[in-house]
Structure 1
Amino acid sequence: MCSMASRASFTAAWCVLPARVLLVLTSHKGIQMYESDGSIMVYWHALDATEHPTAQAVFARGIAAASGRFICVGLSSGLVLVFDIPPKGTNVTVSEVLAEHSAAVTDIAAELGHAPDGAGDLVSADDSGALCVWSSGEEFALRHRIPALGCSCSSVKLWNGILAAGYGNGQIRLYEAASGALRARVDAHARWIYALDVAPATGKLLSGAEDSFVHVWQLGRSPDTGDIEIEHCHAECVPDTQVCGARFCDARGASFAVTGYDLAEIVRYSRA
């Protein structure tokens, strides 16, 4: 079984809420939330090792803004903390704790497009490869649990009801967020996939892995059947670099940036 438990547990994300934008950082010590300019720490949630006796290491990993005023963060214990964020000020509270994962949470993602009726709008993944699809709101409800595959799911994204998941064995799997059904499987990389990203305006999917490659894919649905489709668009090799981070730089996916282990720079690529 391939595991992500011993790998990097420091994550950062901009969480865009209707009333404010927060920078959220996680580590083995806790969860920090800052104002968008980094000048003020809005909230600090410490992680206590004694609260997670079954975890090999204590850390927080996976960040997503959900349902207007919530920020969700995953823990090494398998729990997902739901923070209620006020429109201003520092009165952040833990409004709910989601306890469906039996392994360390690896990533969390919120819907980036328009979810079909009945589809969940939040997904969480764990070190065993299990996925949980949630409906967010005043109370979060589990809609589907996609079983573990024996290999860690390191990154997940949601776009227009399509759930994209990247795994440690180099596969990308596409599921229906409304039913949890598997619709496509691609042997995308030769080694561990570390990053997925979606351009919300076009449905382009970016994948980066330890094999030094970054791939761009096009997600969509068949106009005749409505089935999920995926098409390979572009491949880029980052020489002598194990890619551990990859993100689009714009909503249409015309450019993207990558970084790698022991790489003290960010490399940006754009379409000519």
Structure 2
Amino acid sequence: MYRRQKSLVLKGSSSALYNNLSALPLPAKQLTYFATVQGGTVHLLSASADGLSVSHRQLQAKEGSLAAGTSILTQAAWCVLPSRSLLVVTSQKGIQMYEADGSIMVYWHALDASESSPGQAVFARGIAATGQRFVCVGTSLGCVLVFDIPCKGTNITLSEVLEEHRSAITDIGAELCEQPEGSIDLVTADDAGALCAWRSGEEFQLVSKIPASGCPCSSVKLWNGVIMAGYGNGQIRLYEAAGGTLRAEVAAHARWIYALDLAPLSGKLLSGAEDSFVTVWGLTCNPDTEDIEIKHCQTECLTDTQICGARFCDPEGSTFAVTGYDLSEIIRYVQL
């Protein structure tokens, strides 16, 4: 069972965007970083476990020589690689990468609006780190940009563009635990509901593709070869990543799912939706029979709140945080 803890007050609120909350635990410092975006601002917080020590920062992301206020930010998320951690921010203009605390911008990539059709929105959305050195970011054109990240410094390069999707990318999930070489370690989702499973490397390989379902897949995760996808109709579906076989389906929420998160060490799944509910699920995989089970663990209601962000704060899933549209706080829960 989880119990609600002291909330963290934001100097602002959160926009109604998919996956609009990111968390970076720092066990050595006994702190957790949180990030959520509103308009052209990234709200950054660092908080102790008891919530008594909180530090605020508002990052006005720069885009070339222009302030981010000239465009709308779409997501902020930390990408943790073996050699370094980066804060990645996406917008209508492009992609910015910062040191983990947001203090220094180390890379800026502009989106090419000329490649879009007349009247088509241009933006980046969907962020994940995979492999030993790659950060992947989705775009409204359906492309996934693969950036090669050095151990230090600013010599970040665009190494590959994945062009399998035909609709705007909504989210990207990556395997967080160490897996055998050659395993599927990346999954991408789009506005039409199509999913692609990839194997990273010097050249990324498409392993399987789940066709568009006509309903947007707003959030996606990958764990032990299983794809977990949340949809606009409130469903959560579990697929076998290697072949795309549907293994389980749950009518999880009454309205649009905005966020999924996974605790890789325990197999807990977190979902948050427009219906004001956030739910913890338990996943189990039987390697002998290839059966996948999902069970309900706990549901919490944030009355009159359109949930837009939900994240576990540690790999075991013993704590999680939630925020919502126009909500000026981050609500935290801890396992008893």
TM-score between the two structures when normalised by the length of structure 1: 0.94
> What corresponds to 1:130 in structure 2?
194
Deviations 1:84-136 (A, max 9, x none): 11111111111000000000000001112355786521000000000000000
Counterpart pick for 1:183 among 228, 232, 247: 247
Stretches of structure 1 lacking an aligned partner (at least 5 in a row): 1-5
Percent identical pairs in the alignment equals 71
> What corresponds to 1:215 in structure 2?
279
Q: Secondary structure at the match of 1:234?
A: strand
Question: 1:258 is matched by which residue type in structure 2?
Answer: V
Give 1:182 deviation, angstroms.
0.5
Provide the C-alpha distance between the structure 1 equivalents of 2:269 and 2:134, rounded to a whole number of angstroms: 25
Counterpart pick for 2:86 among 6, 9, 22: 22
Q: Check 1:117–1:88 CA distance in 2 against 1; reply closer, same or farther (3 A cut).
A: closer
Please say if residues 105 and 126 of structure 1, whose CA atoms lie closer than 8 Å, have aligned partners that are also in contact.
yes
> What corresponds to 1:3 in structure 2?
none
Stretches of structure 2 lacking an aligned partner (at least 5 in a row): 1-15, 19-72
Please say if residues 29 and 47 of structure 1, whose CA atoms lie closer than 8 Å, have aligned partners that are also in contact.
yes
Counterpart pick for 2:120 among 56, 64, 81: 56
Deviations 1:12-60 (A, max 9, x none): 1111111111100001111000011222100001123212226721100
Matching of residue 85 in structure 1 with residue 120 in structure 2: no
Q: Check 1:83–1:231 CA distance in 2 against 1; reply closer, same or farther (3 A cut).
A: same
Q: Secondary structure at the match of 2:212?
A: coil
Greater Cα radius of gyration, structure 1 or 2 = 2
Question: 2:289 is matched by which residue type in structure 1?
Answer: T
> What corresponds to 1:167 in structure 2?
231
For residues 1-272 of structure 1, the aligned pairs below 5 Å read 10-53=74-117, 56-113=120-177, 115=179, 119-222=183-286, 225-272=289-336
Q: Secondary structure at the match of 2:329?
A: coil
Please say if residues 17 and 258 of structure 2, whose CA atoms lie closer than 8 Å, have aligned partners that are also in contact.
no
Question: 1:209 is matched by which residue type in structure 2?
Answer: A
TM-score between the two structures when normalised by the length of structure 2: 0.76
Provide the C-alpha distance between the structure 2 equivalents of 1:182 and 1:46, rounded to a whole number of angstroms: 37
Please say if residues 115 and 161 of structure 1, whose CA atoms lie closer than 8 Å, have aligned partners that are also in contact.
no
Please say if residues 34 and 43 of structure 1, whose CA atoms lie closer than 8 Å, have aligned partners that are also in contact.
yes
Please say if residues 115 and 159 of structure 1, whose CA atoms lie closer than 8 Å, have aligned partners that are also in contact.
no
Higher relative contact order (CA 8 A, sep 6+): 2
Give 1:66 deviation, angstroms.
1.1
